[in-house]
């Protein structure tokens, strides 16, 4: 496989006081391949995302995005380069309408962050673009509802729509199905798979639900106690004795649900 | 929808017409109270750009209000004796001051931001209070003459309450119009987004600090403009105008009227000053009564008086909110 490398993480470490959350983790994500990051609770998955997305600085190692060193770039610079993320706990704009939630990233996308005199209501182009994005994630006809009144599953879809509005190259999805009922989970998985196949966007997800991971991921990375334990296709991961010992075999319940 | 960036245009035009007609049916005393209300409305509206729209509680807004007053009066005393030059000095001076102070304050939010603005407000107060040679110390700066306005070859004296009222109305209305355009703009949406979830805003690629700083500068500039009007109105720029308790007035008026409605702070200013004038006519213990009435109002109208009334009205018209 010779797709270009989108994200490269080189020996990244992160500690909080004496606690080592990440220990020299190295991995590469190639364009167009849906990858997943798994590991037991506390393995360092979210810390890893925070380091890659610019929320935390690593205490060691480097992060490259499309060949550029972004180790010290602030979060908003990484977004400009096309690196977006979602959060484990839904992170949207609760008191704004569905449409406004998607307009916020579009304002930035169109370079209008400091346009302070023209009316946003007159920007038909942005509103239409927002509607298109909303229909891509399956949220139509609710544009003028305040987001806090939506069902939980729909709120998580809003976050996907917010992320897509920035036309990302790579999206880190932190447990996109967390807290969802089976129906909502199915809908989310179908959406991620569809977006991954049809768009220019590469997805990298963390997930608790092993069923989800093994059904969507083309490549799986396993974190355990801050270190990368394994890296391979779903079949390889399933057959890996170390992974079985650390994770799948021993405490499937803690890992699955 | 709680936050209305765009209210209905008709009621706003009716209010404006009533304000233009006010000198024809109000007494001079009433007109003076209304002038003060308009000035404080502009101050409270500038505060609410930060509080209601950006989610930043500033306890230092009076610092820019008072600085604007001093910049304007100093321009009249030492610089050109032109009204417009004095107003421009107030706007530009407070904007620059807000840029410097804001640059440090917007690094933090919530209570930390409030404390930083409080601290800077106290520093500005001390400068105004102690730098006697420039600011006149605790006496303030009162020895200036208000220049007249030259309109179409006619000299208009601003010492007349009616002409001064129209000047304040014009400037307050323009200031409010500017703020209205700002909150309804793409930038205004980013402000509300930042209020709701600043983390998400930075993770869609906006520089949250820069967004907040720009709001801080706009709010500071308009507070300075209001402060200049207030100094003209009282014929003095005094250190109390920069005191943190004066910042507290902006907070109070805004919450009283409703931070979630564009004109809420103006309604709050009106209620506050009418109450103050009515009660002080009867008793010297007016703070007890004013305090009690404010407590009742805040309890009865949790979204602010104007906010709650508009909520009730729209609910009646459109059914319960979805």
Min distance B104 CA to chain A CA atoms (Å): 18
In this structure, are residues B138 and B129 in contact, taking their beta carbons and an 8 Å threshold?
yes
Q: Which of A104, A118, A166 sits opposite B190 (nearest CB)?
A: A104
Sign of CA dihedral A70, A75, A79, A84: positive
CA-nearest residue of chain A to B189? A104
Tell me the C-alpha distance between A175 and A248, whole Å: 18
Contact B231, B211 (CB under 8 A): no
What residues form DSSP beta bridges with B151? B154
Provide the ipTM: 0.89
CB contact under 8 A, A75 and B203: yes
Domain extents for chain A? Answer: 1-82+169-181+202-257, 89-166
For chain B, the domains span: 9-242
Each residue's pLDDT tens digit, A30-86: 998 899 999 888 888 999 999 999 999 999 999 999 999 999 999 999 999 999 999
Give contacts of B321 with chain A, Cβ < 8 Å.
146
Q: Which of B4, B15, B105, B123 is nearest to B56 (CA)?
A: B105
- Average pLDDT per 10 consecutive residues for chain B, totaling 322 residues: 54 92 93 96 97 95 97 93 93 98 92 93 93 87 84 79 94 96 96 95 95 97 98 94 93 93 95 90 84 87 88 63 38
Whether the full predicted model's pTM is greater than 0.80, yes or no, is yes
CATH-assigned architecture of domain A1-82+169-181+202-257: 3-Layer(aba) Sandwich (3.40)
Q: Which of B196, B204, B206 sits opposite A96 (nearest CB)?
A: B196
Give A109→chain B minimum CA distance, Å. Answer: 8
CB-CB under 8 Å, A84 with B208:
no
Helix (H, G, I), strand (E, B) or coil at B92: helix
* Average pLDDT, integer, range A88-106: 94
- Per-residue pLDDT at A160 exceeds 80: yes
The pLDDT assigned to A1 comes to 56
Cα–Cα distance measured from residue B214 to residue B197, given in angstroms and rounded to the nearest whole number:
18
Residue A242 binned pLDDT confidence (cut-offs 50, 70, 90): confident
Distances (CA, A) of A8 to A27, A55, A222, B223: 6, 17, 16, 49
């Amino acid at each position: 496989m010779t797709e270009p490398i989108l994200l490269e993480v080189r020996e990244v470490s992160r500690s909080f006081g004496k606690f080592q959350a990440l220990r020299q983790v190295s991995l590469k994500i190639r364009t167009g391949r849906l990858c997943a990051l798994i590991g037991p609770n506390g393995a360092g998955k979210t810390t890893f995302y925070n380091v890659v997305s610019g929320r935390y600085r690593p205490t060691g190692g480097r992060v490259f995005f499309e060949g550029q060193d972004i180790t010290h770039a602030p979060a908003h610079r990484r977004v400009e380069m096309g690196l977006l993320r979602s959060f484990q706990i839904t992170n949207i704009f609760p008191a704004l309408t569905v449409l406004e939630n998607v307009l916020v990233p579009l304002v930035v996308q169109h370079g209008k962050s400091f346009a302070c005199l023209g009316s946003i209501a007159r920007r038909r182009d942005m509103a239409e673009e927002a509607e298109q994005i909303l229909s891509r994630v399956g949220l139509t006809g609710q544009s003028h509802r305040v987001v806090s009144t939506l069902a939980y599953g729909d709120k998580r879809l809003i976050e996907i729509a917010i992320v897509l509005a920035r036309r990302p190259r790579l999206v880190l999805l932190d447990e996109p199905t967390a807290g969802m009922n089976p129906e909502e989970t199915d809908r989310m998985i179908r959406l991620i798979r569809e977006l991954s196949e049809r768009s220019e966007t590469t997805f990298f997800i963390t997930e608790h639900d092993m069923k989800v991971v093994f059904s969507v991921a083309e490549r799986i990375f396993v974190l355990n106690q801050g270190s990368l334990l394994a890296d391979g296709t779903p079949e390889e991961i399933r057959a890996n004795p170390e992974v079985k010992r650390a994770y799948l075999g021993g405490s499937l319940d803690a890992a699955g649900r | 929808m709680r936050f209305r960036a765009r209210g209905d245009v008709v009621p706003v035009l009716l209010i404006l017409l009533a304000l233009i007609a006010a000198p024809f049916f109000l007494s001079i005393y009433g007109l003076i109270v209304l002038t003060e209300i308009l000035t404080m409305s502009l101050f409270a509206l500038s505060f609410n750009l930060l509080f209601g729209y950006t989610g930043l509680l500033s306890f230092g807004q009076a610092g820019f209000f008072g600085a604007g007053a001093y910049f304007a009066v100093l321009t009249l005393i030492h610089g050109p004796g032109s009204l417009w030059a004095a107003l421009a000095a107030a706007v530009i001076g407070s904007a620059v001051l807000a840029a410097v102070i804001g640059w440090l304050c917007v690094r933090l939010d919530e209570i930390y931001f409030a404390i930083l603005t409080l601290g800077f407000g106290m520093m500005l107060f001390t400068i105004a209070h102690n730098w006697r040679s420039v600011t006149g110390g605790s006496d303030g700066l009162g020895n200036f003459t208000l220049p007249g306005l030259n309109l179409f070859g006619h000299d208009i004296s601003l010492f007349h309450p009616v002409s001064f009222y129209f000047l304040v109305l014009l400037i307050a209305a323009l200031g409010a119009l500017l703020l209205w355009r700002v909150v309804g703009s793409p930038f205004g949406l980013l402000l509300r987004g930042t209020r709701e979830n600043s983390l998400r805003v930075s993770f869609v690629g906006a520089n949250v600090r820069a967004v907040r700083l720009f709001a801080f500068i706009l709010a500071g500039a308009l507070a300075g403009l209001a402060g200049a009007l207030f100094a003209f109105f009282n014929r003095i720029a005094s250190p109390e105008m920069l005191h943190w308790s004066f910042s507290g007035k902006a907070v109070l008026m805004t919450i009283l009227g409703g931070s979630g409605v564009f004109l809420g702070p103006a309604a709050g200013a009106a209620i506050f000053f009418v109450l103050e004038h009515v009660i002080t006519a009867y008793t010297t213990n007016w703070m007890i009564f004013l305090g009690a009435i404010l407590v009742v109002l805040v309890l009865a109208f949790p979204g602010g008086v104007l906010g709650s009334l508009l909520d009730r009205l729209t609910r009646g018209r459109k059914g319960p909110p979805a």
